Amino acid sequence: MRKNRSARIFGGMMLLSWLTIPFIGRQHIKRYLSSTMFISFLIMVESYIAEKKKWWIFPNPPHPYLTGEAALLLGPFLAGSLWIKKFTYGHFGRYMLLNAIVDTFFVYPFQRAMSRAKLFSVGTFKEYHLLGIFLLKAALMYVYQHLVVEKPKPQRALKNNPIE
C-alpha cells in the first residue's frame, strides 16, 4: 500500500514538473539543459555516496528501478533548474536568492512533510547540511553555465591608434 502511494506521489511530482517544461521555451531549454544535466550527473554520484553513508533515506521507492531521489531529480529538480535559470541567469545574486528560497522550502517544510509520510527522511545529515549542499550545487551549476556553456569570449587588446 505504501509503495503504491509513494509511486503516486513521486509520479505526480514528475508529471506536474514535466507539464511545465514546454512553457520554458525551446531556446532556453537548449541553452540551460547541459548545465542542468552536468549537475544531475554529480547528484547521481552524490546519491550513491549518500546511500552508502545514509545521509538521507528514501524508505519506499516509487518503483523497483527508480529511487525516490531519481524521481525528484528527473522531475522537480530538472524543471525547477530550467525555470530558475530562465528567469535569473545573468544576475547571480537573484539566482542564488531564488535558489535559497526554493531550497529552504524543500529542506524544511517539504522534507518534513515527506518525512511524516514516510517517503523521505534526513539520515545522518542535519537539515542545514542539506541546505548547504543544495546551495553549493546551485552555485556550481551557475559557474558551469557561465564558464563552460556560455564561454566568455576573450577581449582583444585595444590599439592605441586614434580613429582615422
Q: Is the pLDDT of residue 129 over 70?
A: yes
Q: Which three cell numbers stand for residue 21?
A: 517544461
Predicted structure pTM score: 0.85
Can you give the pLDDT at residue 29? 96
Alpha helices in the chain (DSSP H): 2-20, 26-53, 68-72, 78-88, 92-105, 111-116, 127-144
Distance of CA 22 to the CA centre of its chain: 18
Domain-by-domain residue ranges, the chain? Answer: 1-150
pLDDT tens-digit series, residues 62-111: 877 778 888 899 999 999 999 999 999 999 999 999 999 999 999 999 99
pLDDT tens-digit series, residues 56-69: 888 887 877 778 88
